[in-house]
Chain A
């Protein structure tokens, strides 16, 4: 066996780590990393991967059913369909403050929960609501009926020409 120099010796026989301290460091490290990962996994679980709920796409009828100047409230879907000379548009009835359903008032919409008021075009005029009632996307289905996509917001003033 050839003679080893100092450096080689220290690599083969390193200064002894006390077994206890090695074990305790290993135990603590493994515990905390396992606990951390487990906690992260457990907290990730309640965040829904897929949002449940029905598709919020509503057929509201044929364009000729909506007379110019008319407004039709679609109760189950929480929006109102308006028709004017320029076209058809839908405004959501869900208050932008805390999600109550607004009711039609003389000059617009009123929220019963915290007193927000909106103009007829959905604009906030009073109260705590931070923004206007959203305008919803309106389209047409293959059978010719108008469709309101209640999850898709469009800029105010966007009308569907019929």
Chain B
């Protein structure tokens, strides 16, 4: 900017020297085009939309979206842990060798030899846990604040895609160390992919129609977990799934902006507010428009002669908030990684399974259901839950309550009731099966179709659905029924996860505490 005012030197050699002298300034100007921290709203908006990485945000952000109690920062925590995962993952790739004979040793090298290798691996492991937990909680937040409603249905679906990507990433990462834990978890996982055979075998049609075998072969490239499986999981884990996740994440962020920012109730101040001593209509941007450019010229924008709007400049308010959440995530991950090592068992041994062989915690709820029927617990119930989630915004179309926790009237009691109903059902079911077993214990020769149809998992889903339908009839509100079902599934998932983590020991037997496990 100041270059224009400097007189041009007479000869080319002088001009060259002049430019050389000014090099630090001109290069700095090219990088920091504004030259100083933004001082006016005009400069703040420029700082936002002249930057590729910032311009995905709108220039102004609603105050409600900044309230920590509204979002709990969960989306940013998920994204932040993904960033940490990408960075540490690439660092781990420097030493990791995807081969059944070398993988385990390369992880040992990372752990014992490579400078900071152990810490990087721990961070990678812990941020994966944080990401999965944050993604689940983020989904619950979006659901309970009714933020999936029109026009945000599409973004809810994108989010469900991201949930699948997140779980698939953590599942594929599980095999890579090629230790006992990895080998047996993937043996079990790939056999869950194979489990439609439970149904096709029972019907006697596997010879002609075998989706289970197809899925397993596609995943493993063989009939057993070996070199082909390892390289497939590696390619999925380090390229295909991250690339797909980043793409979906881009769409997810972009849709937030195109859908008019985070969900919020309409007319938070009843449409009027005091402004300059008199009551004025509040300026409410349309839900689908962001009015980024309107902030360019202070005082001459769409809010002229209107009351105050509830928005603040994204620079610095939003960016500081996001940075703060990012740093909290980093610190949390660092503390966990510093104190708790990522597990590494013995080298994979196909002859001796881990006992108990437990999946990572977020799959343990499913593992508990799988211990009644692999097909129902491992594929059918997750599929039903996912499809149910995907249908929510299309079945519940009544507007109202968006962007508020338990927004529609009477929602909170329904959630609380469902909490207890869901809890009672799942605890009762577990207590029953632990004490009395299930069909196969009573009738060892029973046909497998009976077990597929009637097992603790399917009964639990049925009970939850009946409860939800009853709420639908009672309160005459689809949203309430959705809240009931969602809460029940959430409670069921949590209790099953807890139960399988704490109360299942060797041979998948019930123990009150892990300290009671027999030593062998």
Contacts and interface: CB of A to CB of B under 8 A. Distances in A.
Contacts of B374: 97-98, 128, 130
B65 interface: no
A99 B188 contact: yes
Interface string B187-227: 11011100100100110000000000010011001111011
Nearest to A126: B441
B437 interface: yes
A41 B121 CA distance: 37
Contacts of A130: 198, 201-202, 373-374, 448, 451
Interface in A25-77: 46-48, 51-53, 75-76
Interface stretch (A15-23, A106-114, A152-160): A106-114
Nearest to B184: A100
A47 B444 contact: no
Interface in B342-398: 350-357, 367, 370-374
B346 to A, nearest CB: 15
Contact of B507 (A47, A101, A115, A131): A115
B436 to A, nearest CB: 12
A127 interface: yes
B281 interface: no
Nearest to B367: A114
A53 B100 CA distance: 13
Contacts of B508: 112-115
Given A124-B440, A124-B444, A128-B373, A113 B353 contact: yes
B506 interface: yes
B222 A51 contact: yes
B371 A114 contact: yes
Nearest to B223: A51
A55 to B, nearest CB: 13
A116 to B, nearest CB: 8
B370 A114 contact: yes
Interface on chain B toward A: helix, strand, loop, or mixed SS?
helix
B31 to A, nearest CB: 41
Nearest to A78: B351
A125 B444 contact: yes
Contacts of B191: 97-99
Contact of A48 (B184, B217, B351, B437): B217
A129 B384 CA distance: 23
Contact of A101 (B195, B201, B227, B352): B352
Nearest to B221: A48
A100 B370 contact: no
Interface on chain A toward B: helix, strand, loop, or mixed SS?
loop
B370 to A, nearest CB: 6
B353 A48 contact: no
Interface residues of A, number: 29
Contact of A51 (B214, B217, B356, B441): B217
B440 A47 contact: no
Contact of A53 (B184, B222, B444): B222
Contacts of B353: 100-101, 112-113
Contacts of A53: 222-224, 226
A78 B228 CA distance: 21
A129 to B, nearest CB: 8
A130 B188 CA distance: 15
B34 interface: no
A52 B228 contact: yes
Contacts of B190: 99
A46 B218 contact: yes
Contacts of B217: 47-48, 51
Interface in A76-100: 76, 78, 97-100
Contacts of A101: 350-353
Contacts of B226: 52-53
Contacts of B280: none
Nearest to B199: A130
B221 A52 contact: yes
A91 B469 CA distance: 48
B265 to A, nearest CB: 44
Nearest to A113: B357
A126 to B, nearest CB: 5
Contacts of A110: 507
A50 to B, nearest CB: 10
A112 B351 contact: no
A53 B223 CA distance: 8
A115 B374 CA distance: 13
A77 B184 CA distance: 17
Closest 4 CB pairs of A and B: A112-B355, A115-B508, A114-B371, A98-B191
27 contacts: A47-B214, A47-B218, A48-B221, A52-B228, A53-B224, A53-B226, A76-B351, A98-B187, A99-B187, A100-B184, A100-B188, A101-B350, A101-B351, A111-B507, A112-B355, A113-B188, A114-B370, A115-B507, A125-B444, A126-B437, A126-B440, A126-B441, A128-B370, A128-B372, A128-B373, A130-B198, A130-B202
Given A128-B440, A131-B201, 8 more contacts: A46-B221, A48-B217, A51-B223, A101-B350, A101-B351, A110-B507, A113-B357, A113-B508
